[in-house]
Amino acid sequence: MVKNVADSEKKEFRRIKELEENIYSCVAVGDCRNALKGPYSKPIIEISCPNRENGPGFESYFARGRFSIARALLEGKIEPTEELAEIVYHCTLCGSCHEVCNNCVNPDMEINARTNIGEHTDIWEDLRADLVDAGVAPLPRHKEIFEFQKKEHNPYNGKHEDRLNWLSKDSKFLKPGGEYLFFVGCTATYRLNSMSLDFLSVIEKSDVDLTILKDEWCCGSINFRTGVEELGKETAIHNFNLFKDSGIKKIVTNCAGCYRTLKIDYPKRINEWDFEVLHSIELINNIIKEGRLTIKKKLSKKITYHDPCHLGRHVEVYDAPREVIKEICPDNFVELRRNRGNSYCCGAGGGVKSGYPEFALDTSIERIKEAEETGAEILSTTCPFCLENLQEAAEKIKSKIIVLDLLELVKDLI
């Protein structure tokens, strides 16, 4: 039973305590469940949290309810339990709740609860970290993954020494001292290394000098997302030292999750962080613009694009992939109904793919159906995590749409 305030002792919850004012700023109108956006002249888009369509759908699964949970913990009305953690971790950290919060964005106006709340996903991550401290989180499946990570420095339990098996031993990309350091990431190493090879094929057609470091560890995204702060920090420091020793100042990655982690999470935790971080699609876009890469053929198929949450809402990289698509397919691009800041999550993030695979897949199926509505033959994206989940969903519902990484298309057209 929920306890009365007087009956309980307050728990520590140091992180969410520091965010108490932000948490108490939620005005509870619940736009995080449903919101309409878009101008009067166009059909209004309905955007929402993946939890609305899939899963139990109780209030606790939405931002408004999660704020209530944080308040109840701070007020000692409920206890941290594994059961509570199951609810808190049923979230992809997609950031849609932040995007729609109180539904107002305008450079001339700031009447906005969102301003008072701050970044929603930061609060969810801190809440998770407090639950980890309280000994009730992360989820059992996450704990298994972290055991792999401690041993092999990746969440897939692949051998660390096999990390670069997909690359020939005498590859020029293993030579030190390039202009860019290519941070490959674990998914594009152990699961979808064709993505990495595609990227390198594209780079080979340009004059970009790229270096891959043999002793790269997992970026730690899964740790930061699931509140396992110490392991995340440990991996971040390892990678930071590795980068520093390489002498290279620019890092490029083709994983949206690694990108967000290197771009946002590392600088937050490492004071000396001084690297420029690019997503591969930003680099490709730049070198196309600079004339360092030429698109020789054009795509004739109709194509749409899924914004990965970690690239889009989290870091606001919306234009680069679209500019690349415009180069390869000037006349056949169609936007998904929910796009850019209003994009619908693929369902894989925030530890959900490992913690709640069914929820992840159901969410992804919804996105595939949305892509089918556009009439596109190709659904492109720029994140291995999204790619894998969307491909699985397309296969599950026997969709005819082809899901692929944008780099693969670029590779075939240069």
**What is the contact surface with another protein in residues (CB under 8 A)?**
1-2, 21-22, 24-25, 27-46, 56-60, 64-66, 68-69, 71-72, 77-79, 81, 83-84, 87-88, 102-113, 115-116
Find the shortest distance in angstroms from Cβ 96 to another protein.
13
Burial 115-130 (b: 16+ CB within 10 A, else e): eebeebbbbbbbbbbb
If the CB atoms of residues 100 and 378 are measured against another protein, the closer one turns out to be 100
Find the shortest distance in angstroms from Cβ 28 to another protein.
5
Phi, psi of 369 (to 5 degrees): -65, -40
Of 393, 395, 377, 374, the C-alpha closest to 385 is 393
If the CB atoms of residues 109 and 296 are measured against another protein, the closer one turns out to be 109
If the CB atoms of residues 11 and 233 are measured against another protein, the closer one turns out to be 11
User: Whose structure tokens read 């699985």?
Assistant: 392
Partners of 271 in the β-ladder:
none
Find the shortest distance in angstroms from Cβ 360 to another protein.
17
266, 241 in Cβ contact below 8 A?
A: no
Phi, psi of 219 (to 5 degrees): -70, -20
Query: Distance between CA 216 and CA 403 in Å, rounded?
Result: 28
Find the shortest distance in angstroms from Cβ 113 to another protein.
4
238, 166 in Cβ contact below 8 A?
A: no
DSSP β-ladder status, 250-253 and 180-183:
parallel
Find the shortest distance in angstroms from Cβ 27 to another protein.
4
Find the shortest distance in angstroms from Cβ 118 to another protein.
10
If the CB atoms of residues 54 and 304 are measured against another protein, the closer one turns out to be 54
DSSP, res 43: P
Query: Distance between CA 390 and CA 400 in Å, rounded?
Result: 12
Find the shortest distance in angstroms from Cβ 396 to another protein.
20
Find the shortest distance in angstroms from Cβ 31 to another protein.
6
The sign one gets for the Cα dihedral 328, 331, 336, 342 is positive
Find the shortest distance in angstroms from Cβ 11 to another protein.
13
CA atoms within 13 A on the CB side of 126: 20
364, 393 in Cβ contact below 8 A?
A: yes
53, 31 in Cβ contact below 8 A?
A: no
User: Whose structure tokens read 């469940």?
Assistant: 33
Of 113, 111, 109, 88, the C-alpha closest to 30 is 113
406, 326 in Cβ contact below 8 A?
A: no
360, 91 in Cβ contact below 8 A?
A: no
If the CB atoms of residues 112 and 194 are measured against another protein, the closer one turns out to be 112
If the CB atoms of residues 60 and 201 are measured against another protein, the closer one turns out to be 60
If the CB atoms of residues 133 and 204 are measured against another protein, the closer one turns out to be 133
If the CB atoms of residues 240 and 359 are measured against another protein, the closer one turns out to be 359
If the CB atoms of residues 116 and 246 are measured against another protein, the closer one turns out to be 116
